[in-house]
Amino acid sequence: MSTDSRTGAAPAPTGPLNRVDYSQRIPNNVGLAGDRRLQRALEGWQPKFLDWWRQLGPALPTKDVYLRTAVAVGRDGWAHFAHVPMDEYRWGIFLAERDPDRKVHFGKHKGEPAWQEVPGEHRAALMRLIVVQGDTEPASVEQQRVLGDTAPSIYDLRNLFQVNVEEGRHLWAMVYLLHAYFGREGREEAEQLLKRNSGDLNAPRILGAFNEATTDWLQFFMFTYFTDRDGKYQLGTLKESAFDPLARTCQFMLKEEAHHMFVGTTGVERILERTAELMREHGTADVFPYGGISLDVIQRYLNFQYSVSMDLFGSEQSTNAGNYFTAGLKGRWMETRREDDHVLLGVTRELRHVEGGEIRTRTVPLLSALNLDLRDEYAADCAGGVRRWNRVLAAAGVPDRLHLPHEGFNRKVGVYAGHHVTPHGEVVDETTWRAGADAWLPTPEDRERVAALMIPEYEYGKFAGWIAPPRTGINDQPVEFDYVHLADEGLV
């Protein structure tokens, strides 16, 4: 234990509502102490999680990190900030408050009371959704494991670790559901969540994007912008679930998710600020020689991360998605704000697809195209961020702009898989694709040039030359605050 007076393993639970009990081995607001069987099962999983964290969690040794920890789930004051040694961080189980009158508000069970238990007929499907969701959380931690070695600042390093501990907690959230509601099978799935690993050829993570390497900080910021945003939208649909414990878990996870996307949005924004500054200063687009990242490389990283994140929505036409909806397991984004019958029988929509070498449209039942419905919401949200980034370029007097590539670009899942579509939406043949690919997707040379800039900057308040400092610090602390104490700086 540290002797630093600001350092505490367990934050004082001061939140106003639905307090989290930190006196327990596993902090929680689900009354774990009252269910000895479940408590024992989770306490059996805890050391395996901690082993996994030590082996595949953040690699950079630290003394402590200024972290946000959830202490309550109410609207205000749910988080507590303190310097915490990483291995004393308390991962816990927090569900949003229960609404005793909550009803199922879509699908064939519409109007019935929300479920507190898993109905037998939906058990397999629900477990599958929870496992897929749970699998992504530790995967991202694994992908980001070595980024601390090249952090552009102590501020950014702290944000990386914050994202990592929260993704770890999101795994806890899904493991709680598996243990509490799915018996022996659920416990086995919980074990598997630690055994599959990102990029492992024999036991990979379930979804494609979570097996890609996060090679550098530009990719990390693109990941938190585009891929954590898939998390936001998927959690948004699970938050509507008729299975109330899942809905409540996801509701609280979404609060944490906002910071992850903030890291991505502002990270890319700060890179652009610096790039634009260097472009003007030196009158050239190739800013690598001056220690910045060129816009064309940023665009290629964007193209890659957007396209692999689009794949995370599954096939545009999916009977799974329709069945999940009708059964009440997974709703639409903002389900309650949709002005229709929430059952969707007989409703149709347009779907773009490739036919005869061009993109055409056909009409399909909406129920069969709910993955696309969600993906469209996501794409519109992504476009908003790109507009924000372009304002940075405009304000700096740089005429170039970033663009989202066409939805069919570089796709491995769904109607565009097996076709070649350029970022501008032209269907092309293999030869044309190959000739263009280096202009559209990050090349090994791009990654090397970015990697060459990834030199750590661990001095408080200083920033690597390829990224501008943020406007403000975390939790009203100054930008130059000692957010992280590295292990090798000794006890000061």
The contact set with Fe ion (CB under 5 A) reads 137, 167, 170, 228, 231, 257, 260
Binding segment for ligand BYC (CB under 6 A), chosen from 97-105, 132-140, 346-354, 360-368, is 132-140
User: For ligand BYC, which residue of 29, 62, 234, 368 counts as binding (CB under 6 A)?
Assistant: 234
Q: Which is nearer to Fe ion, 135 or 228 (CB)?
A: 228
* Pairing of the two strands 420-421 and 427-428: antiparallel
What torsion do the CA atoms of 450, 453, 455, 461 make, to the nearest 10 degrees? -110
Return the DSSP state at 337.
Answer: G
- Partner from ligand BYC, Fe ion, none binding residue 318, C-beta < 5-8 Å depending on class: ligand BYC
Angle, helices 123-143/183-195, rounded to nearest 10 degrees: 20
Q: Which is nearer to ligand BYC, 145 or 274 (CB)?
A: 145
Angle, helices 319-327/123-143, rounded to nearest 10 degrees: 120
Binding segment for ligand BYC (CB under 6 A), chosen from 34-42, 83-91, 224-232, 449-457, is 224-232
Give the separation between CA 255 and CA 71, rounded to whole angstroms.
13
Phi-psi region of 300 (alpha: psi -120 to 50; beta: other; left: phi over 0): alpha
- Asked if 136 interacts with ligand BYC (CB under 6 A), we say yes
Binding segment for ligand BYC (CB under 6 A), chosen from 51-59, 102-110, 183-191, 228-236, is 228-236
Of 261, 256, 160, nearest to 483 by C-alpha is: 160
Q: Which is nearer to ligand BYC, 318 or 326 (CB)?
A: 318
Q: Which is nearer to ligand BYC, 107 or 314 (CB)?
A: 314
Give the separation between CA 297 and CA 299, rounded to whole angstroms.
5
Of 393, 277, 371, nearest to 316 by C-alpha is: 371
Q: Whole-number minimum distance, CB 446 to Fe ion, in Å?
A: 25
Of 69, 236, 211, nearest to 143 by C-alpha is: 211
User: For ligand BYC, which residue of 318, 326, 368, 410 counts as binding (CB under 6 A)?
Assistant: 318
Q: Whole-number minimum distance, CB 171 to Fe ion, in Å?
A: 8
Q: Whole-number minimum distance, CB 227 to Fe ion, in Å?
A: 8
At 209, list the tokens. Answer: 């994007």
Cα–Cα separations (whole angstroms), residue 65 to 156, 189, 479: 12, 31, 15
- Asked if 313 interacts with ligand BYC (CB under 6 A), we say yes
User: For ligand BYC, which residue of 167, 240, 373, 407 counts as binding (CB under 6 A)?
Assistant: 167
At 167, list the tokens. Answer: 């993704």
State which of positions 196-215 bind ligand BYC (CB under 6 A): 207-208
Those residues whose C-beta lies under 8 Å from the C-beta of residue 340, and which sit 6 or more positions away, are: 347
- Partner from ligand BYC, Fe ion, none binding residue 292, C-beta < 5-8 Å depending on class: none
User: For ligand BYC, which residue of 231, 236, 331, 469 counts as binding (CB under 6 A)?
Assistant: 231
Q: How many CB atoms lie within 10 A of CB 88?
A: 13
User: For ligand BYC, which residue of 63, 72, 85, 137 counts as binding (CB under 6 A)?
Assistant: 137
Q: Which is nearer to ligand BYC, 254 or 437 (CB)?
A: 254
- Asked if 227 interacts with ligand BYC (CB under 6 A), we say yes
Those residues whose C-beta lies under 8 Å from the C-beta of residue 63, and which sit 6 or more positions away, are: 2, 85, 485, 486, 487, 489, 491
Binding segment for ligand BYC (CB under 6 A), chosen from 18-26, 61-69, 130-138, 182-190, is 130-138
Q: Length of the chain in residues, anyone?
A: 492
Binding segment for ligand BYC (CB under 6 A), chosen from 128-136, 146-154, 187-195, 278-286, is 128-136
Q: Which is nearer to Fe ion, 52 or 115 (CB)?
A: 52
Q: How many CB atoms lie within 10 A of CB 410?
A: 22
Q: Which is nearer to ligand BYC, 242 or 393 (CB)?
A: 242
Of 154, 441, 396, nearest to 292 by C-alpha is: 396
Q: Which is nearer to ligand BYC, 12 or 334 (CB)?
A: 334
Tell me which residue has tokens 């009354």: 31
Q: Which is nearer to Fe ion, 167 or 269 (CB)?
A: 167
Q: Which is nearer to Fe ion, 231 or 408 (CB)?
A: 231
Give the separation between CA 457 and CA 278, rounded to whole angstroms.
19
Residues of the shown chain interacting with ligand BYC in the complex, contacts defined by CB under 6 A: 129, 132-133, 136-137, 140, 167, 207-208, 227-228, 230-231, 234, 311-315, 318, 320-321, 330, 371, 413
